[in-house]
Amino acid sequence: MSQTATEPAVARTGRKTTARKYPWYVIQPVERDRVRRFLEAFAAILRYTNYKPLLDQYVRSSAKCSRCTATCPVYEATGDPRDIPCNRSALLLDVYRRHFTISGWMKAKLTGDPGLTEATIDEMARSFYRCTACKRCLLECPMGIDHGLLTHLGRWILGELRIVPKGLEIATIEQLHGESGNTSAILPHALVDTLEFLEEEIEEMFGIPIKYPVDRMDREYAFFPAVSDFLMEPETLMGNLVTIYAAGDNDRWTIGTGYYDGINYGLFYSDHVLERVVKKVVAEAARLRAKKILIGECGHASRSAKEFVPVFGGEQARPVVNIMEYTWEKLEEGKLDLDPDIVTEPVTYHDPCNIARSGWILEKPREILKSFCRNFVEMIPNRTENYCCGGGGGTVSVDEIHDFRMSVAGRKKAEQMRATGAKYVVAPCANCKKQLRELIEYHELDMQCVGLHDLILKAIRIPGAKPPEARAEG
């Protein structure tokens, strides 16, 4: 990573440069008294959350056995000891031990250890955003240390000092305080325009009108895709609609104009942001009186809803379903007719860490793909042991570390994709899609990254509509 924030930040903002350098742009970080304020933030977080017992456990468990080195794609690419997951976590565990335990305090008295320094804070800022929070290291840690959770906590403490990549924070500010209320700043009328445009496209493709249900009350599902899909992934969204339509469920779901963003960067850097965004999703589903929350093709959006709607949703919490689970169910029920002669090229599937590592969604997308893609090939390793796309943990939204994502964090994934010889890599995640497309370009791979429903859009047969082969010709 050769880029630092200082020079470009000055050029962009015209503000006076600061001596401190982060590997990414920051909006307005705390500059003075960082050590004291870091410790205050850490203390407050320990007081009101469950992290203290976790850290009590981990300071005694961390065996420094080096086994995580074999699982971390970042360390595999750099060989830099600072990139070893256990070493990264030690940055935080050492501060906890030194400043928040009696034995650490006594040891410091004996050895004269000054404790947390400015340099350690800089190193944390660097290091915690070189972790993609993919949790692959957890697979092989004999002590079960969840370095992804420690990365999350470290980023939250830094976040309270506003040491957060601008790419993440600016989207969060718009989502929580902006007029649009979502990360892509799409206003409701622009959303409706986009949906109308997509409907026109679908009518042109299929020869029949199919409409997105907007602001319909009392439906089974309220739909929240990654809001960036409305700008970047029209085929995924069209695929979602025609799938639901073909299954006969178009009167059982809705998109609400009150809130329509599944993205939750809080999962990456702040419990506080996470909770407030989850509450927006839950409130909109409640406003629409929808029975379930349906999340589009997005790994972190799905996980942040699945795991945290029950935690933060209170009495308004609802069951969370990922769109691939829905589609699989309809395929099983025989409600979807997918033409096996349309996608004949080799297809591979990328497991987004946020839905695969825990074992949540593994076989369903594969079964959907295998039902109509004749030539399905697996990446090795896959499923719970998959490699991160290299843009996980929000790093994909940090353009300043593009080189890092391409040549370090995503190197393994690029090698995996090349080895499959596939023409399509299916990535049911907005983050992964962006990263994989950049990887494909950077590593000059002869393939295309698509969503699962993009391929369904190509192959689906709807009675009374133009058949797939006619659409392909058109």
Binding site for another protein (CB under 8 A): 40-41, 44-45, 47-51, 53-54, 56-58, 60-71, 81, 84, 86-87, 90, 135, 138-140, 142-146, 149, 159-162, 164, 169, 172-173, 176-177, 270-276, 307-308, 310-312, 314
User: Nearest approach, Cβ of 338 to another protein (angstroms)?
Assistant: 33
Q: Closer to another protein at the Cβ: 160 or 261?
A: 160
Structural contact between residues 182 and 226, judged by C-beta atoms closer than 8 angstroms = no
DSSP class per residue in 87-129: HHHHHHHHHHHHHH-HHHHHHHHHHT---S-HHHHHHHHHHHT
- Of the pair 78, 322, the CB lying nearest another protein is at 78
What is the closest distance, in whole angstroms, from the C-beta atom of residue 277 to another protein in the complex?
11
CA distance 128 to 92: 10
Q: Which is nearer to another protein, 311 or 380 (CB)?
A: 311
Q: 253: closest CA among 330, 313, 310, 365?
A: 330
By beta-carbon proximity to another protein, the closer residue of 295 and 373 is 295
Cβ-based nearer residue to another protein, 282 or 439:
282
Closer Cβ to another protein, 40 or 203, answer by number: 40
In the complex with another protein, which residue's Cβ is closer, 71 or 228? 71
Instruction: Give the strands of the sheet with 253-254, arranged side by side.
Output: 253-254, 221-224, 292-295, 320-322
Give the nearest distance from C-beta 279 to another protein in angstroms: 10
Q: Smallest distance, Å, CB 46 to another protein?
A: 10
Pick 301 or 422: Cβ nearer another protein: 301
Cα 321–chain centre separation: 16
Nearest approach, Cβ of residue 375 and another protein (Å): 30
Q: Give the span between the Cα atoms of 216 and 70, in whole angstroms.
A: 50
By beta-carbon proximity to another protein, the closer residue of 57 and 344 is 57
Please say which residue, 70 or 470, places its beta carbon nearer to another protein. 70
Closest distance to another protein from the beta carbon of 281 (Å): 15
Identify whether the C-beta of residue 172 lies closer than 8 Å to the C-beta of residue 227. no
Q: How far is CA 116 from CA 9, 124, 154, 289, 422, in A?
A: 27, 11, 13, 49, 49
Whole-angstrom CA distances from 123 to 22, 91, 368 are 9, 8, 44
CA dihedral angle for residue 99, residue 102, residue 105, residue 111, rounded to 10 degrees:
-140
Report in angstroms how near the CB of residue 371 gets to another protein at its nearest.
29
CA-closest candidate to residue 255, choices 277, 229, 235 = 229
Q: What is the CA radius of gyration of the chain?
A: 23
Q: Smallest gap, in angstroms, from Cβ of residue 85 to another protein?
A: 10
**How far is residue 78's CA from residue 232's CA, in Å, rounded to a whole number?**
32
Per the listing, tokens 């003075």 go with 32
The neighbouring-strand residues paired with 377 are 348
Using CB atoms within 10 A of its CB, is residue 206 exposed (0-12), middle (13-18) or buried (19+)? Answer: buried
* Minimum CB–partner distance for residue 307 and another protein (Å): 7
Q: How far is the CB of 382 from another protein (least distance, A)?
A: 15
